[in-house]
Amino acid sequence: MKLKHIVTTGLSAAVVLTSLYAAQVAAQDEQFFPLLVYRTGPYAPNGIPAANGAVDYFKLINERDGGINGVKITWEECEFQYNTKQGVECYERLKNKGPTGATIVFPWSTGVTYQLIPKAAVDEIPLHSMGYGQTAAADGRVFKWAFNFPTTYWSQASALIRYVGAQEEGMENLAGKKIALVHHNSAYGKEPIPTLQVLSEKFGYDLTILAVDHPGQEQKATWLQIRRLKPDWIFMWGWGVMNQVAVKEAAAINFPMDHFIGVWWSGSEADVIPAGDAAIGYKAANFHGVGAGFAVHDDIVEHVYGGDAEAARANNLGEVLYNRGMTGSMFAVEAVRTAQAKYGNKSLTGAEARWGMENLDLTEERLAEIGLEGFTRPLKVSCEDHETMGPVFIQQWDGAKWNQVSEWIEPMRDVVRPMIEEAAAAFAAENNVTPRDCSMEG
């Protein structure tokens, strides 16, 4: 009887103490981010560096700055193997975690983005599909909760055409040229097609569209068609193993690699290293710096890895997709900082973070302050424009590393923005969304 009493009292005390501790922890200001990652599965070689970059930047902010204005960043990874269904499950599992729920969700997949756009609007959680996802989400009047800055697939497609025009010494010289698009046969891979078709009519080039089924391990038939077609330029909207095989197949038919340009998801180290020397000269678009030569990388080595540069490199520091993951986290941190200026330095809700996203004004000076001078272009998000239509540049593989080989290229806003507004209006009509009046937004 006595023993039972002692055990009961002990357990009660433990429960009370645990509750008190939990309450104290919850009372501390923290900003929770769910991280949908794919460190396993067929796309793991792409998912690992992106996830490492995203996490390292959060760690840096906590370690170096003590959080965002004193508010610690917390996060939880959820493995979804780049599978849309699992990605949605991850979102559902994590959306209510943290003191104020999810701050911003990064879907890291166009398929997942499409699924989450209606859900996030109901849950009042902002989505940031950085340079991927549904392009029409650039129209913030219709897509209040979705953001895709700094640029989209449609903008990128127009920038690629502008680049090819420059290489051909004038846009007028595009007439009669043959351009082939080799794309992943998915929602993601099909995104640039409308833009390339519109521009084909405008500039008179012949566009051939060739789809490659998931995963893209065997593409011989596609490249036989290309060999027969003899295009002047090839664009690739690929992902995962499809990229590596395509680079090899292009080399196998003696296609000039400097006329083969990948989307920014087809331009990582993992896409070219397996092809060896065959990949030399291959190009890809990008919207952020390459390599680990920026001040922020030095800070990461110092504060996250305790000065162990080797350990940082082993965790992909400076690789293209590492930098991309880092860029996504940087945008999120700056958006929260923007929102804190209005709502105070506390744990923000998704709605408050959304305001921060929509009012984000990342200037050249601010980029320099956070160690990212020249890393990406300044941007200013607005109620109407959730994309900002940022410029892109072309990088080229030299057999050992990627090098920036072009200036920043502006997308064709006059062509792309009307298309975005048209697509957004169609979405609004289809889904009974009343576009916002941005003049009424605070």
Partner 1 sequence: MEILNAFFVSPFVDMAEYPVFFAEVVANGFLTGIMYSLVALGFVLIFKASETFNFAQGVMVLFAALTLVGLQERGVPTWLAIGITVGVMVLLAMAIEKVMLRPLVNQDPFILFMATIGLTFFLEGFGETLWGSNVKRLDVGIPERPLEVPLGGDFMLLNEFDLWAAGIGAVMVLGLALFFHRTTIGRALRAVADDHQAAMAVGISLRTIWVVVWSVSGVVALVAGIMWGAKSGVQFSLSLIALKALPVLILGGLTSVPGAIVGGLIIGIGEKIGEVYWGPLVGGAIENWFAYVLALIFLLFRPQGLFGERIIERV
Q: Kindly state the smallest distance separating residue 45's Cβ from partner 1, in Å.
A: 4
Choice from 166, 278, 280, 351 touching partner 1 (CB under 8 A): 278
**Given 70, 118, 176, 276, the residue binding partner 1 (CB under 8 A):** 276
Pairing verdict, β 260-262 and 233-237: parallel
Establish if 395 lies at the interface with partner 1 (CB under 8 A). no
Least distance to partner 1, CB of residue 262, Å:
15
Element (H, E) at 283: strand 283-286
39 binds partner 1, rule: CB under 8 A: yes
311 binds partner 1 (CB under 8 A): no
Q: Least Å distance between CB 275 and partner 1? A: 8
Choice from 32, 33, 34, 42 touching partner 1 (CB under 8 A): 42
Among 51, 68, 161, 245, binds partner 1 (CB under 8 A): 245
Select 274 or 371, whichever has its Cβ closest to partner 1. Answer: 274
Q: Which of 35, 48, 317, 424 binds partner 1 (CB under 8 A)?
A: 48
CB of 221 vs partner 1, minimal distance in Å: 3
- Between 272 and 285, name the residue whose CB sits nearer to partner 1: 272
Question: Interface with partner 1 includes 69 (CB under 8 A)?
Answer: no
Interface size with partner 1, residues (CB under 8 A): 39
- Using the contact rule CB under 8 A, the part of the chain among 161-169, 272-280, 371-379, 384-392 near partner 1 is 272-280
Task: Say how far apart CA 250 and CA 265 lie, in whole Å.
Answer: 18
Contacting partner 1 within 148-187 (CB under 8 A): 185
224 binds partner 1 (CB under 8 A): yes
Q: Of the ranges 41-49, 126-134, 284-292, 383-391, which one interacts with partner 1 (CB under 8 A)?
A: 41-49
Q: Which of 55, 160, 199, 212 binds partner 1 (CB under 8 A)?
A: 212
Q: Kindly tell me which of 210 and 353 has the beta carbon lying closer to partner 1.
A: 210
Question: How many whole angstroms separate alpha carbon 115 and alpha carbon 105?
Answer: 13
We find the least distance from the C-beta atom of residue 181 to partner 1, in angstroms, to be 11
Of 40-48, 68-76, 133-141, 286-294, which segment contacts partner 1 by CB under 8 A?
Answer: 40-48
* 93 is an interface residue for partner 1 by CB under 8 A: no
> Could you give the CA distance from residue 330 to residue 347 in angstroms, rounded to a whole number?
18
The residue (of 44 and 312) whose beta carbon lies closer to partner 1 is: 44
Smallest separation, CB 92 to partner 1 (Å): 24
Binding site for partner 1 (CB under 8 A): 39-45, 48, 185, 209-213, 215, 217-218, 220-222, 224-225, 227-228, 240-241, 244-245, 248, 251-254, 270, 273-276, 278
